[in-house]
Amino acid sequence: MEFEQNHIENFIEEIIVNDIQNGRIQEIKTRFPPEPNGYLHIGHAKSICLNFGLVDKFGGSTHLRFDDTNPSTEKEDYVQSIKKDIQWLGFQWEQEFYASDYFDTLFKLACHLIQEDLAYIDESSPEDIAISKGTPTSSGVASRYRNRPVAESIALFNDMKAGKIPEGAMVLRAKIDLNHPNMQMRDPIIYRIKFAHHHRTANQWCIYPMYDFAHGQSDAIETITHSICTLEFIPHRPVYDWFIEKLHLFPSKQYEFARLNLTYTIMSKRKLLFLVDNKYVNGWDDPRMPTISGLRNRGYTPASIRNFCHRIGIAKRDNIIEHSLLEFCVREDLNKIATRRMVVVHPLKLIITNFNDTVVWLDSSNNPEQPESGSRKLPFTKELWIEKDDFMENPPKKYFRLTPGQKVRLKSAFIIECTGYLKAEDGSIKEVYANYIPESQSGNDTSGINVKGTIHWVSIKHADAIELRLYNHLFTVADTSQIKDNMSHFINSRSLEIIPRAWAEPQLLNDKHVQHFQFIRHGYFFKNPEQPQNFYVFHKTVDLKDSWAPSKS
């Protein structure tokens, strides 16, 4: 297979091309290996796009493997949500696997290690094991159980499996090297006792393999060629290779890339669970969450997330990506696909004094970026809602909206001239008066008048009430790596603002199958299709503009 050098986008692709060209492999096999202990987040999306993307590009297959070796935190609900999210992102796995399917095989492999005198049962306490491992600058000390006879270890391992040994009383350790400069190689624990109900194997097992023993072996069993994980697993690579070599398994290889970190949010399932459990958010799929399901409910599109993952690329060094880049990507997509509608959020009554009491239905484009999306009819009447701040009694210079004596265009309608206003007792503006210019109708303007401002509006008689939910960052700091166990201290108490009643043009609620909208001059909004009937909530996905701009290269 020949690959053009300039089509190679990152170091992993380079490795793959080399592997194929020098014959190490014929075809690639990757896997996405989530632990079903939470919902997927945008960091997982990066890994998904990478693992599935490589196969889309080079051929081969991608497995979905649930790394379900820790029964106390894993649930079937998480399995279902993970599958839904991967498919929603636009990817389909070749086959679905579970590490728990390999429990028998893994147990046999562990027995084989013991037989080969490459593993032993250690009865030391967890504290003693930790201390005896030494430090990166001093070597470890062998446990007094390290040289126990093979037969004894086999018998005890079987007793562990049979449930005869209490939790924490002993573990199985690989016999590697207590002087190894890499701490992970100092006789890692590979099996522990856990009396917990497993979401798939129920109570069949009371011993469970540790990550280091389950992961590489699962890769090898599935003949994964490129096992891609994040940088923190670099020290685990020698362990990964050691087991594969000693057990004579398929030579899967581990490669590491930089995990995704984003400003103003966190990317750890454990921390996200804290937000859910402590009700800082309304569940894993709250639109403020960096989860795939949260982003979906916020109005992100699969294309925008894939595009984001592609733009950030695959690097070997950790960094923090600006949240505004993610917003840029969704804005870019929504600009192309969102249906344009008018909604007034803070209403002020405008009376068109020279318009009689009829309705004129005006034509307005659904999406100027997409001419084939057609147009809808807007009712224009004598009494309209406009935004409060689109009128000023005493405006500053360069205020191009409504003020006495000034002209402005009503979007997709007419030019109007403000003739006066009425104040309420408290001094606030109660209503505003204007005359419209009949020959200035949008699309057919023969008035010859130029105005600098355009404002949106809705006909009061036709307006529908909707609720808006506006979101802000969940955290008050950009660099959330400083957040440890003091999370509540950094939570933004104003991450959700509810506008219980805004006024929408009538077509909005007729758009039963449309989900992505641009509310003109306000931003992009999403209608969650799962909301109850007759209760119209729109979630703000993103503002119309941001200062962030892609670098020109």
Distances 342 to 179, 385, 514, 519 between C-alpha atoms, Å: 70, 11, 15, 5
Q: Residue 538 Cβ, how far from ligand ATP at the closest point, in Å?
A: 30
Active site residue 173: no
Query: For residues 204 and 481, which CB has a smaller minimum distance to ligand ATP in the complex?
Result: 481
294 binds ligand ATP (CB under 6 A): no
Could you confirm whether 259 is annotated as catalytic? yes
Pair of tokens at residue 200: 């798939």
Q: Which residues contact 386 (CB under 8 A, 6 or more apart)?
A: 344, 347, 348, 350, 402, 432, 455, 456, 457
Query: What region, left, alpha or beta, does residue 118 occupy, with left being phi > 0 and alpha being psi -120 to 50 degrees?
Result: alpha
Q: How far is the CB of 79 from ligand ATP (least distance, A)?
A: 11
Query: Which option in ligand ATP, Mg ion, none does residue 44 bind, with CB closer than 5 to 8 A by kind?
Result: ligand ATP
* Near ligand ATP by CB under 6 A: residue from 16, 34, 298, 305: 34
Q: Of 55, 113, 170, 229, which one interacts with ligand ATP (CB under 6 A)? A: 229
Q: Note whether 287 binds ligand ATP by CB under 6 A.
A: no
**47 counts as binding ligand ATP under rule CB under 6 A:** yes
Residue with token string 């950030």: 312
Interaction between residue 319 and ligand ATP (CB under 6 A): no
Nearest approach in angstroms of CB 33 to Mg ion is 9
Residue 43 partner contact from ligand ATP, Mg ion, none using kind-dependent CB cut-offs of 5 to 8 Å: ligand ATP
DSSP-derived 3-state class of residue 135? strand
List the one residue from 19, 35, 318, 369 that touches Mg ion (CB under 5 A): 35
For residue 35, state whether it binds ligand ATP (rule: CB under 6 A). yes
Nearer to ligand ATP, 47 or 403 (CB): 47
* Beta strand spans in 239-311 (E): 253-257
Residue 267 binds: one of ligand ATP, Mg ion, none (C-beta under 5 to 8 A by kind): ligand ATP
CA distances (Å), origin 43, targets 228, 259, 319, 326 = 14, 7, 13, 12
Task: Give Cβ neighbours of residue 513 (< 8 Å, ≥ 6 apart).
Answer: none
Would you count residue 269 as binding ligand ATP (CB under 6 A)? yes
Of 35, 332, 431, 467, which one is the catalytic site residue?
35
Stretch that binds ligand ATP, among 116-124, 260-268, 407-415, 510-518 (CB under 6 A): 260-268
What would the x/- binding string for ligand ATP be over residues 4 to 33, using CB under 6 A?
-----------------------------x
Helices 323-337 and 302-312: angle between axes, nearest 10 degrees: 140
Q: Which is nearer to Mg ion, 211 or 255 (CB)?
A: 211
- Clarify whether 35 is annotated catalytic: yes
**What is the 3-state secondary structure of 24-75?**
CCCCCEEEECCCCCCCCEHHHHHHHHHHHHHHHHHCCEEEEEECCCCHHHCC
Choose among 329, 328, 411: nearest CA to 363: 411
Listed ranges 30-38, 88-96, 129-137, 196-204: which one lies at the site for Mg ion (CB under 5 A): 30-38
**Contacts of ligand ATP in 408-447 (CB under 6 A):** none
For the chain, what's the residue count? 553
Strands 454-455 and 407-410, how do they pair? parallel
SS3 434: strand
Closest-approach residue to Mg ion (CB): 35
Identify what 409 binds: Mg ion, ligand ATP, none; CB under 5 to 8 Å per kind.
none
Q: What are phi and psi of 277, to 5 degrees?
A: -60, -35
Which of 41, 539 has the CB closer to Mg ion? Answer: 41
Answer yes or no whether residue 267 interacts with ligand ATP by CB under 6 A.
yes
> Would you report the helix, strand and coil content of the chain in percent, each value rounded to 5?
30, 25, 45
229, interface contact from Mg ion, ligand ATP, none, CB < 5-8 Å by kind: ligand ATP
Q: Which residues bind ligand ATP (CB under 6 A)?
A: 33-35, 43-44, 46-47, 67, 229-230, 259-260, 267-269
Q: Which residues bind Mg ion (CB under 5 A)?
A: 35
